[in-house]
Amino acid sequence: MSLHIDLHGRLGDFVFNFELDLPLRGAIGFFGPSGVGKTSILRVLCGLEDGLKGTVVVNDEVLQDSRNNLFVAADKRNIGMVFQDSRLFPHLTVRENLQLALRQAKHPIFGIDELAKECAFSELLEQPAPSLSAGQRQRVAIARALIAAPRLLLMDEPLAALDVDSRQKILGFLQRVSHKLPIIFISHSVAETLHLCDPIVVMAPGRVEQVGNAQQVDHLLPRRRGIGTVVNFDAERGEITLKLDDYAPDFAPDQVVGLVSQPNWLLGRE
């Protein structure tokens, strides 16, 4: 599969000159500071935004061609979208939300019980959607997007509401999913992006700044926070040994670092 995007124009006061050609496989990361247009590009891709001129082609199918006045409606694109907020139907149970999405799948690749297990909400299937916590709703939203078996899955900050343990489990699951269907993934977390995505599309306002693997774009990524597990702590000597996560920052001898015990502000909400 392949992805071609050539979009130009203005959304409000924001100017776009966005050009991208990539093989559409695995997980592709869109990374950049807030306000550079990442979400707007995803909205154009899935057909929710028609304010930019140009072309969008997915696997040789033209979804937008402004010169020929062509714009395929969102419900005809077979592209899934996971938003920052879950957008579950409040009058339905978790199972009913998933069953509704399953009816859209021509060739399902996941079942309800399988996704409930992978996304850790099996015990919630009969619960009404409004009774769930923010993190639970988001896990269900990810499953709902996948059960519809889209040809491409767009994810806009999908893990922001999850605690660290849930985030790591879902990242591992998404990595396996990306072998079955391509994912475009937006996150403000450098660690999440590096863990899941290759290539990474680094965006400047309204345009692509660079595309590459982790090593090729590392100089454009911000300094990042990391999470570590205490292996040993010697209070008398003032020494601590940490086991860091895979994409924690690099450290140097004699570097001064800050430590936060039980960093709830970083762990997020359950």
**Tens digit of pLDDT for each residue in 50-71?**
999 999 999 999 999 999 999 9
What is the mean pLDDT of the segment spanning 87-94? Answer: 94
List the beta bridge partners of residue 153: 80, 183
- CA distances to 79, 150, 165 from 75, rounded to whole Å, are 8, 11, 34
At the fourth CATH level, the homologous superfamily of domain 2-220 is P-loop containing nucleotide triphosphate hydrolases (3.40.50.300)
Query: Hey, what amino acid is at 120?
Result: A
Q: Where are the domain boundaries for CATH 3.40.50.300 in the chain?
A: 2-220
User: What percent of the chain has a predicted confidence (pLDDT) above 70?
Assistant: 91
Query: Among residues 114, 101, 116, which one has the least CA distance to residue 148?
Result: 101
Q: Torsions phi, psi of 115, nearest 5?
A: -70, -35
**Does the pLDDT at position 221 exceed 90?**
no
Which band of pLDDT confidence, cut at 50, 70 and 90, is reported for residue 123? very high
**Of 9-13, 135-139, 209-213, where does mean pLDDT reach its minimum?**
9-13
pLDDT value at residue 205: 95
- State how beta strands 207-212 and 200-204 pair: antiparallel
Which carries the bigger pLDDT value, residue 239 or residue 55?
Answer: 55
Can you tell me the distance from the alpha carbon of 131 to that of 197, in angstroms, rounded to the nearest whole number? 33
Here the tokens at position 99 are 């069953």
Which band of pLDDT confidence, cut at 50, 70 and 90, is reported for residue 9? very high
Helix, strand, coil percent values for the chain (each to nearest 5): 30, 30, 40
Which band of pLDDT confidence, cut at 50, 70 and 90, is reported for residue 111? very high
The answer to whether 245 and 228 have CB atoms below 8 angstroms apart is: yes
What count of other Cβ atoms lies within 10 Å of the Cβ of residue 194? 21
